[in-house]
Amino acid sequence: MSTLAITGATGFVGQAFLDAALADGHRVRALARRAQTERERVSWIAGDLGNADALDQLVDGAEAVIHIAGAVNVPTRDAFAEANIAGTQAVIDAATRAGTTRFVHVSSLAAREPALSNYGWSKAGAEEAVRGSGLDWAIVRPPAIYGPRDSDMLELFRMAQRGFVLLPPAGHASIIHVDDLARLLLTLAGAPAKQATFEPDDGAPLAHRDLAQAIGRAVGRQQVLTLSAPAPLLRLAARGDRLVRGAKAKLTPDRAAYMAHPDWTASPALAPDRALWTPQIALDEGLAATARWYRSAGWL
């Protein structure tokens, strides 16, 4: 049993990681802005990435830090920098002060293309901070993540249930189930010292249209109609969403920019060694289980 420090434990990936860590017998310290339900072997630390005292409490005595927290949808470049670059540096600084050397950082494939979006630029900047930290680090760049509790891919399931899926411009993407990702993060938290960047996936990159058909099968449709929106239309839709929903817009101009990129597939050269980790959840199985969870939660 070891003590793990987690940021982002209340989010989609963070909750899956927290469940995996507890199931594996670890004690957990988790950062949270708001009061949380008590759980055995979980110590909730009140605060955020801008609170140095809270971060010091978080990492004190931890064998590893797993940094999952970050912003994916904020209105400005400065806001992305504050959350993703400065926030990551603050966690690094706390780990350094505490002498906790193992640092697992959750990045994004978007970091490979920093010129495309403010989000990708900020994730690339966070990776630079990790690489320059002097810690025993591992960087994980997940592709599209799906599974129970996920709200980002929920709209694709809803559209597929109606028989029609609107997609970004034609391209290919990798995908990974959140529980497979959580297992990798947990493995890396206890892995022998190695500074490395990983791009995990389920081993089967898909064309966007094929992913839509797979989601259709998961909701009980053998065939769905798909339409790939050209990049200019995607940008126009993003401006419309911002006008209608303001700061709550899901499709922002920044998101539209990286969604229009044709290749978000994980690099085989950066795949984790099979002796370290392999995906266990097949696409159709995982999508069907996710659809069942959405229905049980009243989301679908």
Q: Is residue 240 part of a domain?
A: no
**How far is it, in rounded angstroms, from Cα 124 to Cα 92?**
15
pLDDT, tens digit, 9 for 90 and up, residues 239-293: 766 666 666 667 777 787 888 899 999 999 999 999 999 999 999 999 999 999 9
In the predicted structure, residue 149 carries a pLDDT above the cut 90: yes
**How far is it, in rounded angstroms, from Cα 203 to Cα 91?**
32
**How far is it, in rounded angstroms, from Cα 11 to Cα 199?**
21
Q: Is residue 189 part of a domain?
A: yes
Question: Cα angle vertex 148, ends 153, 159, to 5°?
Answer: 30
Question: Residue 197's pLDDT is what?
Answer: 97
Range(s) of the domain holding residue 271: 3-146+175-204+265-281
Only one residue has tokens 């029609």, namely: 164
Q: Is residue 129 part of a domain?
A: yes
Candidates 128, 220, 129, 116; CA nearest to 168 is 116
> Domain containing 60 — which CATH number?
3.40.50.720
pLDDT, tens digit, 9 for 90 and up, residues 197-213: 999 999 999 999 999 99
Q: Is residue 90 part of a domain?
A: yes
Q: Is residue 29 part of a domain?
A: yes
Q: Is residue 191 part of a domain?
A: yes
**How far is it, in rounded angstroms, from Cα 263 to Cα 250?**
21
Distance of CA 135 to CAs 78, 216, 270, 285, Å? Answer: 26, 44, 20, 38
**How far is it, in rounded angstroms, from Cα 117 to Cα 253?**
9
Distance of CA 230 to CAs 75, 155, 169, 192, 233, Å? Answer: 23, 19, 5, 45, 5
Q: Is residue 37 part of a domain?
A: yes
Average pLDDT over residues 156-161: 96
For residue 215, give both structure tokens.
Answer: 């989601």
Question: Do residues 43 and 6 lie in contact, with contact meaning Cβ atoms separated by under 8 Å?
Answer: no
In the predicted structure, residue 44 carries a pLDDT above the cut 80: yes
**How far is it, in rounded angstroms, from Cα 277 to Cα 199?**
12
pLDDT, tens digit, 9 for 90 and up, residues 113-124: 999 999 999 999
With a CB cutoff of 8 Å and minimum separation 6, the contacts of 145 are 12, 13, 152, 175, 176, 177, 178, 181
Sign of CA pseudo-dihedral 134, 270, 90, 58: negative
pTM comes to 0.94
Candidates 190, 172, 17; CA nearest to 109 is 172
pLDDT band at 236 (very low <50, low <70, confident <90, very high): confident
End-to-end CA distance of the chain: 38
pLDDT band at 66 (very low <50, low <70, confident <90, very high): very high
Question: Counting Cβ atoms within 10 Å, is residue 104 exposed (0-12), middle (13-18) or buried (19+)?
Answer: buried
Q: Is residue 69 part of a domain?
A: yes
Candidates 169, 198, 166, 195; CA nearest to 185 is 198
What is the count of structural domains for the chain?
1
